[in-house]
Each structure stands twice: as structure tokens, then as C-alpha cells.
A and B are shown apart, each in its own frame.
Chain A
Amino acid sequence: MAADTKTSFDLKKWFKDRYDFGPFLDLAKHKIVPIHHHTIWYYFGGITLFLFLVQVLTGILLLLYYRPGADSAFESVQFIITQVKFGWLIRSLHSWSANLMVLAAFIHMFSNFFVQSYRKPREFTWLSGMLLFGLTLGFGFSGYLLPWNELAFFATKVGTDIIGVVPVVGKPLLIFLRGSEDVTGATLNRFFGFHVALLPLTFLGFLTIHLLFVQDQGMAEPISYSKLPKEKQRSMAFFPNFVLRDLIGWLFVLIILTLLALFFPWELGKKADLFASAPAGIKPEWYFMFMFQTLKLLPSTLFFIEGELLGILGFGLGALLWALVPFFDKRGSENRSNPFLRIIGVAIVLYILAMTVAGYVL
């Protein structure tokens, strides 16, 4: 945006002589963003990405003072929010941003489901997105334990217990996750490792794939839009028109994020006590609530199988079908809308909403 075109020209040349970024710039230059009444949903991918970047930045900052370990984790978080300048802000931002990121990812995923963006040739974008979503939940689950406070401790206990119900692989998986039979300091160290090394690396890999696909294939067009005659297909350039709009969205999110962090500081609570009895009303994070509530409502045995197990298997199967939906949606691959899947999608959204509300109200 610099007015001095002479310098920018020179700079471009300077770079071009050393490495030609041309193809990358062309990629951005040629990409267009369709304009239609669903354009708004295009922003949620970007918002999720922005929140991820906030997570990376605040996460690295927290790492400067955080100390994993059962007898130092809680104290170090307390130290961050009391002794370190703006530590309260960084910590609160990290917690709020994590939640908003999950929310944005949910919206991003469902909006793409409803406009059938996953259809040919974007199956891989959808699949990598699903993996990213799973990893995001993994970030949430592992990060929740790191302050080593009472609520997180028991939520992790309950959460990992559920995994242990799965036959054959459940028990070994449980031990792998916990690092011991029970949730202990060993679990904390493990979750720390997952949260700051394993998950970010994997996430970055899939994120690169996801973004490259999006850039290369361009924004998915809704079926109705793709059927319009060419001259009626309105669009804007990805760069700079859409990117600047994206930026406005990010800035709004930043305002909301800091507002939440300041006026609704994320509480640290009490330090986890391995021997204390669980306080009443242990709840998982809100994005796990619908699953938790379902498992709670299931009868203890259903069709001769343990209700909880059935629920877990059901969710597992559901997630698998959801991830493979591009391969089921034959109508979609023929560029036709699929009312049946739309009804299913609406039902799933309603179910998640109802169960989440039930989890907090009941």
C-alpha cells in the first residue's frame, strides 16, 4: 500500500533476482471469490486460521513461563497471571481464543457441509479439514488439563475414562493417554508434550495441505451459483479485495477476544488434588458437552451392549461417516443438491444444540 512505487518495484526485482515468488503471487492474483448470499461463510475459515495464529503466538508466550509437572504447573500459571506483566491477558486470550477457535471451526465445517463444498474435486480439502477439526479438539482436551486445576483434573479423568470403555484398544489407549493407570502428574507431562509438540506439528502439516488446496482450487462455489450463466456469476479478487475484508473480520474477532479476556477473565480455580473427591457438577468443555450428555442419557445396557460403549461406537462411526461424506454424496459429485443430506445435517446441528443445552440445564 506504500505510495512510493519506485522502492517497491526495486524490492520486487531484488527478490526476483534471487528467488522468483511469481507463481505464488499468481496463485493469489488469479484466485477469485464468488459473490452470492452465502459469501459470508467464506470468512469462517479465515477466522479459524486467525484464531489458530493467536493460539500459536500466545501459546509460545505462555511457554516462556509455564512449567509442566504436578507441583509446578498450577503455580506457574498462577505466577503468569499474577507476576508477569500482561500475563493475565495472554493466558485469558489463549483460553478464550481456544474456545472461539473451536466454535469457528464448527461453523466453518457445517457451512461447508451445507453448501456441499466437499464435492469433487475438493474431497481432500474436506478430509484434511476433518483431521484439523479432530486435532483442534485434541488441542482443547490436552490444553484444558495443563493449568492443573481441580475442574480440569476431574474433567480429564472422566474424559479419559470414557475412552477406556472401548473394547480391546480402549484400555491400552487409556494407559497411553494417561501415562499411568490414573490421571497423575505423568498425564500432565504427556498432555503437555501432545499440546506443544505433537499436535502443533501434525496440525501444521495438515493445515499446509488444507490451505494449498484452497489456494490452488479456489473457493468452492455453491451448486446454485455454479449453474448461473457466466455473465451472472459475480466475484471479487481474492487479493486484495477479499483479503482486506478478511482482515476486517480478524480485527473484529480481535476486539471480541480482548473484550472477553478482560471482562470475563478465565478463572484458574483451585489446584488439583489427586485425593480430593470430585466436586459436584463436573462438566467437560462445552464442545464435548453433547457427547457427554448423550452418554449420560443412554441406559446402562442397550441391545445387550453397554450403553456407554454403544454411544462411543456410535459417535466414532458417525465421525467416520461424516468424514467420508464426499464419497457418499453421489448427487453432490454430479453437482446436484442433496436434500436428504441437508436434512441429516440440520438434524445433527439441532441434536448437538439440544444436547449441549440439556447438558447445562439438566
Chain B
Amino acid sequence: MSDQKKFDPDRRNFINIFLGGVGIASLGAVLYPLISYLIPPKVTEATPTTLKVAKEDDLVPNTAVMFQYGRNPGILLRTADGNFKAFLATCTHLGCTVQFRPDLGVIWCACHNGRYDINGINISGPPPRPLTPFQVNVQNGDVYVSEAKS
């Protein structure tokens, strides 16, 4: 740098403006992720223990609906007498997803013809264990499932 430029007030001003501009932009780059982080995500809880899975009136007796519980499929069924039952829909034999068979009145696994009764008890075929049950609560016409308390 040549000597005459050392005290150039323009240059000094330029550096200050440059610093200010870049400084604010960098601060923005740092603050953007931080503020985004603070905005509550769509799912507000890490492990929702209770899940609204259906409306009471949407489910006629002797039918079932599937729902997603965490990373597992669940099955909510309404028995012929109007009660609700919910289970983890993973077959205890090889892990296929089970379904409700209104014609047979059982929960059925297509993979190897395993059958469970409406209480989730394995009644025929290869399944070695009953299905894992959920606790079902009905409130204001909504059906909630939550992990069964052991």
C-alpha cells in the first residue's frame, strides 16, 4: 500500500461500511437458524403418549381402521357390541401388518393365516403371542389411544 492511501478517509469509511454490512448479514445468517429453531414444530411433542385416531361415529360396529402410532401401525376396531379395541397391528409371528376380517370376526394376518380374536389373543395359526394392546378412551365423540399401562 502506498503512503498517501493510509489516511484516506474514504477508505476508512469504506471499511466501516463494509464491516457493518457484512457483520449484519453474518449475524442474520447465524440468527436465522436459531430463530427457526425456536418456532414450535408441527408435532409439538417428542413422544405423544395419547393419540386421537378416529371419531366415534365414523366407525360402525364390526369395522376397523388403521392408524400410525409412532413408527408402528396400529389397528382400532369397533366390536359388534359397540366397544372399541386397539392393538399394535404388527403380527407377533413375522411382523406383517394384521387386518380386521368382519366376515370372520377376527383379526387376521394375511402372511400365514394367523388369527387373533377381538381381544388380540392368538387363536390359530403361527402367531406365538397375543397382539400388544393399547388403552382406548372415548371423549366428546373422539377416540384416543394410548400405551396400555401394565
User: Interface residues, chain A, CB within 8 Å of chain B?
Assistant: 1, 3, 57, 61, 64-65, 67, 71-72, 75-76, 78-80, 83-87, 89-90
| Residue pair B46, A75 in contact (C-beta under 8 Å) | yes
Min distance, Cβ B90 to any Cβ of chain A, angstroms: 17
Chain B residues near A3: list those with CB within 8 A.
13, 16
Residue contact A83 to B13, C-beta cutoff 8 Å:
no
Q: Are A72 and B37 in contact (CB under 8 A)?
A: no
Knowing A72-B47, A90-B37 are in contact, say whether A83-B16 is a contact too (CB < 8 A). Answer: no
Cα distance A71–B36 when bound, in Å?
27
Cβ-closest chain B residue relative to A254: B30
Q: Tell me, rounded to whole Å, the shortest Cβ–Cβ distance linking A46 to chain B.
A: 18
Contacts of B43 in A (CB 8 A): 79, 83
Q: Can you list 11 A-B pairs with a CB-CB distance of less than 8 A?
A: A1-B20, A3-B13, A75-B47, A79-B45, A79-B46, A79-B47, A80-B46, A83-B46, A85-B39, A86-B37, A90-B37
* 7 new A-B contacts at CB < 8 Å, known A83-B42, A85-B37, A86-B36: A1-B19, A72-B47, A76-B47, A79-B45, A80-B46, A83-B43, A86-B37
Given the known inter-chain contacts A3-B13, A84-B41, please indicate yes or no for A65 contacting B36, CB distance below 8 A. no
Q: 1/0 per position for B20-40, CB-CB distance to A under 8 A? A: 100000000000011011110
- What residues of A have a CB within 8 angstroms of the CB of B45 in the complex? 79
Closest 4 CB pairs of A and B: A79-B46, A76-B46, A86-B33, A85-B36
Given A1-B16, A1-B19, A3-B13: A87 in contact with B37 (beta carbons within 8 A): yes
What is the number of contacts between chain A and chain B, taking CB atoms within 8 Å? 47
Assess whether B41 is in contact with A83, with CB atoms less than 8 Å apart: yes
Q: Considering the chains assembled together, what is the distance between the CA atoms of A194 and B47 in angstroms?
A: 24
Which residues of chain B come closer than 8 Å to A67, judged between CB atoms?
A: 46-47
User: Chain B residue with minimal CB distance to A86?
Assistant: B33
For B20, list chain A residues within 8 Å (CB): 1
**Cα distance, A85 to B41, chains bound together (Å):** 7
Could you say which of B16, B33, B39, B46 has the most chain A C-beta atoms within 10 Å of its C-beta? B46
Interface bits B33-75 vs A (CB < 8 Å: 1, else 0)? 1101111011101110000000000000000000000000000
Which chain A residue shows the least CB distance to B37?
A86
Across the interface, do B16 and A84 meet the contact criterion of CB distance under 8 Å? Answer: no
| Cβ-defined contact, A61 with B37, below 8 A | yes
Report Cα–Cα, A64/B37, bound state, in Å.
10
A76 to B44, CA, bound (A): 11
Task: Give the nearest-CB partner of B30 in chain A.
Answer: A254
Most chain B Cβ neighbours within 10 Å, of A64, A80, A85:
A85
* Contact status B47-A84, CB under 8 Å: no
Q: What residues on B are CB-neighbors of A78 within 8 Å?
A: 46
How far does the Cβ of A361 sit from chain B's closest Cβ, in whole Å? 37
CB distance from A307 to the nearest CB of B (A): 44
Q: A residues within 8 A CB of B42? A: 83
In the complex, A90→B36 CA distance in Å? 11
Q: Once the chains bind, are B19 and A71 in contact (CB under 8 Å)?
A: no
Please judge, given known A-B contacts A84-B37, A84-B41, A85-B39, whether A72 and B46 are in contact too, CB under 8 Å.
yes
Bound: A63/B13 CA distance, A = 43
A67 CA / B46 CA spacing, docked (Å): 8
Nearest-neighbor residue (CB-CB) of A72 within chain B: B47
B19: A residues at CB distance < 8 A = 1
Residue of A nearest to B43 (CB): A83
Closest A residue, CB atoms, query B26: A251
Smallest CB separation, A8 vs chain B (Å): 13
Chain A residues, Cβ within 8 Å of B13: 3
Bound complex: CA of A199 vs CA of B26, how far in Å?
31
Q: In the complex the two chains form, what is the Cα distance from A354 to B37 in whole Å? A: 41
Bound complex: CA of A87 vs CA of B33, how far in Å? 9
Chain B neighbourhood of A64, CB < 8 A = 37-38
Indicate if the CB atoms of A71 and B47 lie closer than 8 Å: yes
